[in-house]
Amino acid sequence: MSRTFFVGGNWKMNGDKKGIDEIVDFLTKGPINSSTEVVVGCPQCYLIYTREKLPSNIGVAAQNCYKVAKGAFTGEISPAMIKDCGCEWVILGHSERRNVFGESDQLISEKVGHALDAGLKVIPCIGEKLEERESGKTQEVVFKQLSALLPNIKDWSRVVLAYEPVWAIGTGKTATPDQAQEVHAQLRQWLRDNVGAEVADSTRIIYGGSVTAGSCQELSKTGDIDGFLVGGASLKPDFIQIINARG
């Protein structure tokens, strides 16, 4: 099955209106391969500004949301609010949410479920730490994280799964194409065994972890890597090369 190539840019806690204008400028000039789906994740205070500035063919994602529609949850944002800002996507379970802010597999699963129920499209992130990879626990860790998501995902057509090895995020280290492909193939087989063949064949599994203009083309040639979730490189004009990695 042909899966549409997907490239997400996660700006994290970076940027201001001037910087966003510069990103909008290079994204608008492109050129961007029309067969690649592009989504950028911006800080929540800039959701409306970014959505209004970017052309409609580029999606805008929130970087997080909570598991209910409204209430006494100071500092949080709901899927309904994201939609009200004109945005359709949310990134959930990023390693920084898990490892800096202590979010559990269960909480992330509940967030994913509510976001989907509210009509958003979701990029759930999974991945192992360096010590887990070195002790041979990569498969165990990512399968556990994926298993936790399963009860709350009813519609896989609105899910783009991001594999982000924690040891390769912001470190300059990148999994080799063979290392990344191995995990992506295992994740796809897990979907086949636990959800079904159609979901396994159609769900896009993207790679995140210090992806650069230099590493993207080789990574994109593997059979089970359907795109990227890019951090720091998405703030720079080189992001265009990553978007166009599949030519």
Q: In terms of CATH architecture, what is 5-243?
A: Alpha-Beta Barrel (3.20)
Point out the catalytic residue in the list 96, 110, 128, 164. Answer: 164
pLDDT score at 1: 57
**What are 96-99's contacts with CB under 8 Å, separation 24+?**
96/12, 96/169, 97/64, 99/129, 99/166
* CB distance 223 to 185 below 8 Å: yes
pLDDT of residue 142: 96
Q: For residue 209, which amino acid is it?
A: G
| Alpha-carbon radius of gyration of the chain | 17
* DSSP, res 243: H
Q: State the Cα–Cα distance between residues 180 and 178, nearest whole angstrom.
A: 6
- Coil vs helix vs strand at 65: coil
Residue 236 CB neighbour total at 10 angstroms: 17
Whether 198 is catalytic is no
Helix (H, G, I), strand (E, B) or coil at 123: strand
Amino acid code (one letter) for 122:
V
Active-site residue, from 94, 128, 132, 184? 94
- Arithmetic mean of pLDDT over the chain: 95
Q: Is 164 a catalytic residue?
A: yes
Hey, where are the domains in the chain?
Answer: 5-243
Total-model pTM: 0.96
pLDDT digits (tens, 9 = 90+) for 64-116: 999 999 999 999 999 999 999 999 999 999 999 999 999 999 999 999 999 99
Question: What are the tens digits of pLDDT across the range 171-230?
Answer: 777 788 999 999 999 999 999 999 999 999 999 999 998 888 998 999 999 999 999 999
